[in-house]
Structure 1
Amino acid sequence: MARSRRDWIRLRDIDVLRLSLLSATLLLVPTLAHAQQVDRQLWLQTNGTVTIGSREKVTLEGIGRFSDRAEGFSHAEAGALFTHTTAGGIELSIGYRHVADWNRGVALPNEERLRQMVLMPLGSGFSGRLRLEERFNSSGSEIGVRLRPRLGFDTPLNDKGLKLFATQEHFLNLNTTGWGQQGGYERMRNAAGLSIGLGGKLRGEVGYLNQYRFGRDGRRDQMDHAATFTLSFNVASIGGSGD
């Protein structure tokens, strides 16, 4: 009888443990569900290029983005990029962008960015890009420095100019500023899509981009799902095509 009582106590303890684990799981599910917030976005971009001889080019860029969380138009960029291509196919670029943001129609502090980039072909359709940015925010005097390494891949799908592309990019803040940039690993972007020639020197891209932002100071992480559309074209050519 005593043994049966011990067995009953053991079974009771097991049931209590199971109930505790189940309760903890049920409490954890909503926590995980709210661990990140999700935003659906639309990203639009145009690139107009002026080629200078065979080694240099200037690219004029315009970017507009829409966000569900911001309830409409949320982000705009306008800038220019000068690129020199070496004999080995490595691209060296320097440029500038003006950046503006809105949240529910209210303008946020804007930003001026200086950019330096190196793009290197890695073979078999792969390329590596390293971008260094100096960020000047209108709400503070400190300069935010950010590093953005990116791995890219593209491959032709047919003989009519259709290409598949994919990229992965990481954002590393190299310092902390009083206006909001915090040092460390900030976010990751993964993108994939199709690129196709639209006639002449006009090219279009359509794709999907997933961006994961890591929360800081108690903020939740954010997952962005963006449909992306890009239109690139050659504005003019200056100089000869020889070296």
Structure 2
Amino acid sequence: MKPTRRIEFQNRLSLHSIIIAGAAAVSVPACAQQQDGQLWLQANTNAAIAKDLQLTVEQIARFSDRQQGLYQTEFGGLLGYRATPNIELGFGYRRVDFFNANTAGGEHRLRQHIVATFGPLTTRLRVDQRFSSDAPGVGIRIRPLLRFNHRLHESFTLFVSHESFFLPNSTRWGQRSGYERARNIIGVTVPVGRFIKADVGYLNQFRLAQGNTPTQMEHALNFQFTFNLTDQSAASVTD
């Protein structure tokens, strides 16, 4: 286990107090024993490298009241191939690091996905392979996602999404098999410039109890910015 890295989060407002009022927007089981207010930030840059082939570079930072500021960063890339106008296949890698009260070892993650779009509905099936620096073993994670988009205006779109996390195996470094969490988001997609769009919304994440860890309810302000350097459009799914 690596030592805790302390990063000061100066002048931190209570994210919990800001976000908790939005909890009723997406209801999940009331049995959660721990509540946490969070801020999630993500920036994606899309660039075409060949016909129907696109590279996406991703950067993520997540902040938490309970975990004392910045607790997770992710950096990686995704190669997407548009097999048909409605189907995208993807393969990618992410480096994940943890900070402050989150003392888990860093991870290397491989991932594959298939995204299908049917009018306002977008579905994604993602499979992750997680490699921890704490101990050997590969943790498999299966993540089906469903997103519904409703255009409110020529430039504004309302969306809601649900993603489930299934863990088919356990590992020596802490992954436990079973249904792990449900992640729900409600928000709007808005243009920020000619080549930039933003998904802004409320994210609710419910984690089931595992071992000595109680059930957890996380409320997050979620901001995702996408920079398009290509005429190809990436699938509209978050994280």
Q: TM-score range by the shorter chain?
A: 0.7 to 0.9
Task: Identify the residue that residue 155 of structure 1 maps to in structure 2.
Answer: 150
Distance 1:127 1:205 in 2: 15
Distance 1:34 1:127 in 2: 30
Distance 1:68 1:82 in 2: 34
The structure-2 alpha-carbon separation of the partners of 1:154 and 1:35, relative to structure 1 and needing over 3 Å to count, comes to: closer
Q: How many residues are aligned here?
A: 204
Aligned partner (choices 48, 56, 59) of residue 56 of structure 2? 59
Distance 2:168 2:70 in 1: 29
1:1-243 paired onto structure 2 within 5 Å: 36-104=33-101, 108-123=104-119, 125-159=120-154, 161-235=155-229
Task: Give 2:129's aligned amino acid.
Answer: E
- In the TM superposition, residue 78 of structure 1 has moved relative to its aligned partner by 0.2
Instruction: Name the TM-score, length of structure 1 as normaliser.
Output: 0.79
Task: Give 1:121's aligned amino acid.
Answer: T
CA contact (8 A) 1:47 1:61 kept: yes
Map Cα deviations across residues 43-94 of structure 1 (whole Å, 9 max, x no partner). 0000011113441100000000100011111110000000001224200000
**What is the root-mean-square deviation in Å for CA atoms of aligned residues?**
2.0
Instruction: Name the TM-score, length of structure 2 as normaliser.
Output: 0.81
Any stretches of 5+ residues in structure 2 without a counterpart? 1-29, 233-239
Task: Identify the residue that residue 26 of structure 2 maps to in structure 1.
Answer: none
Larger RCO of the pair (alpha carbons < 8 Å, separation 6+): 2
CA contact (8 A) 1:192 1:207 kept: yes
- In the TM superposition, residue 235 of structure 1 has moved relative to its aligned partner by 3.5
Distance 2:131 2:46 in 1: 26
Question: Which aligned segments of 4 or more residues in structure 1 are displaced greater than 6 angstroms?
Answer: none
Distance 1:37 1:187 in 2: 14
Distance 2:100 2:89 in 1: 35
Map Cα deviations across residues 101-120 of structure 1 (whole Å, 9 max, x no partner). 1233x753100000000001
Which secondary structure state, in structure 2, belongs to the residue aligned with residue 199 of structure 1?
Answer: coil
Any stretches of 5+ residues in structure 1 without a counterpart? 1-32, 239-243
The structure-2 alpha-carbon separation of the partners of 1:188 and 1:35, relative to structure 1 and needing over 3 Å to count, comes to: closer
Q: Greater share of helix residues, 1 or 2? A: 1
CA contact (8 A) 1:66 1:74 kept: yes
Task: Give 1:122's aligned amino acid.
Answer: F
CA contact (8 A) 1:210 1:225 kept: yes
Say which one has the larger Rg: 1
Task: Identify the residue that residue 13 of structure 2 maps to in structure 1.
Answer: none
